[in-house]
Chains A and B, each alone.
Chain A
Amino acid sequence: MISSETTPRSRTRSLLARLEGPQTMGRGPAFWIAAAVAIAAAAAYPLTADAWTVGNAAYFLIWTFMAMGLGVVWGYAGALSFGQTAFFGLAGYAYGVITLNLGAAYGLTLVALVLAVAIGGLFALVIGYFMFYGRIQGVFIGIVTLSVTLVLETFMAQTAGPQWRIGEARLNGFNGMSGMPPLTLPWVGEDIALYPGPSLYYLLLGLVVICYLGLRIMLNSSFGNVLVAIRENPHRVGMLGYDVRLYQTLAFAIGGAFAALSGALYTAWGQYITPSSMGLTSAALPIIWVAVGGRRDITATLIGTIVVLAGFQSLTIYGSQYALVVMGALLLVTVLVAPQGLVVGAMTFLGRIFKKDKS
Chain B
Amino acid sequence: MTDILRVQGLRKAFGGVVVANGIDFSLSTGAMHCLIGPNGAGKSSFFRLLLGEHAPDAGTIIFDGSDITNLRSFQRIRRGISVKFQVPGIFKALSVRQNLEVAFQDHLNGQSLNTKIHEMLDFTDLHAEETTPAGNLSHGQQQWLEIAMAVGVEPKLLLLDEPTAGMSPDETRKTGEMLHDLNARGITILAVEHDMAFVEQIARRVTVLHFGSIFVEGTIAEIIDHPGVQEIYLGTADV
Contact = CB atoms under 8 A, between A and B. Distances in A.
Interface of A: 3, 5, 14, 22, 222, 225-226, 228-229, 232-233, 235-244
Task: Among A225, A232, A237, A244, find the residue whose CB has the most chain B CB atoms closer than 10 A.
Answer: A232
B160 to A, nearest CB: 13
Nearest to A244: B74
A3 B111 CA distance: 11
Given A232-B93, A232-B94, A244-B74, A239 B106 contact: no
A237 B94 contact: no
B110 A240 contact: no
Interface string B89-113: 1111111011001110110011100
B78 interface: yes
B102 to A, nearest CB: 5
Contact of A240 (B92, B93, B102, B109): B102
A242 B74 contact: yes
Chain B interface size band reads 20 to 34
A231 to B, nearest CB: 8
Contacts of B72: 243
26 contacts: A3-B110, A22-B94, A22-B95, A22-B97, A225-B102, A225-B105, A228-B93, A232-B93, A233-B89, A233-B90, A233-B91, A235-B89, A236-B90, A238-B73, A238-B74, A239-B73, A239-B77, A239-B89, A240-B77, A240-B82, A240-B149, A240-B153, A241-B74, A241-B106, A243-B72, A243-B74
Contacts of B77: 238-241
Given A239-B83, A240-B77, A232 B91 contact: yes
A242 B77 CA distance: 8
Interface of B: 51, 72-74, 77-78, 82-83, 85, 89-95, 97-98, 101-103, 105-106, 109-111, 149, 153
Contacts of A233: 89-92
* Closest A-B pairs by Cβ, 3 of them: A241-B77, A232-B91, A236-B89
A241 to B, nearest CB: 4
Contacts of B102: 225-226, 229, 237, 240
A242 B91 contact: no
Contacts of B110: 3, 5, 14
Contact of A229 (B83, B85, B94): B94
Contacts of B153: 240-241
B141 to A, nearest CB: 17
Contacts of B90: 233, 236
Contacts of A242: 74, 106
A28 to B, nearest CB: 15
Task: Among A225, A233, A239, A243, find the residue whose CB has the most chain B CB atoms closer than 10 A.
Answer: A239
A239 B51 contact: yes
B91 A229 contact: yes
B190 to A, nearest CB: 15
Contacts of A237: 102
A222 B51 CA distance: 24
A22 B132 CA distance: 11
A243 B77 CA distance: 10
Contacts of A243: 72, 74
Given A236-B90, A239-B74, A240-B153, 18 more contacts: A5-B111, A22-B94, A22-B95, A22-B97, A222-B106, A225-B102, A228-B91, A229-B98, A236-B89, A236-B91, A237-B102, A238-B73, A240-B82, A240-B103, A241-B106, A241-B153, A243-B72, A243-B74
A344 B149 CA distance: 30
Given A239-B83, A240-B149, A225 B103 contact: no
Contacts of A14: 110
A222 B101 contact: yes
A190 B104 CA distance: 55
A238 B73 CA distance: 7
B37 to A, nearest CB: 23
A241 B82 CA distance: 9
B153 to A, nearest CB: 8
Contacts of B98: 22, 225, 228-229
A242 B107 CA distance: 12
Contacts of B51: 239
A228 B111 contact: no
Nearest to B110: A5
Contacts of B73: 238-239
A154 B106 CA distance: 44
Contact of A232 (B74, B82, B92, B105): B92
A228 B94 CA distance: 8
A74 to B, nearest CB: 15
B6 to A, nearest CB: 22
Given A222-B101, A225-B102, A225-B105, A241 B78 contact: yes
Contacts of B109: 222
A240 B93 CA distance: 17
A9 to B, nearest CB: 15
B229 to A, nearest CB: 31
Contacts of B97: 22
Contacts of B103: 240
Contacts of B91: 228-229, 232-233, 236
A200 B94 CA distance: 40
A239 B74 CA distance: 6
A232 B97 CA distance: 15
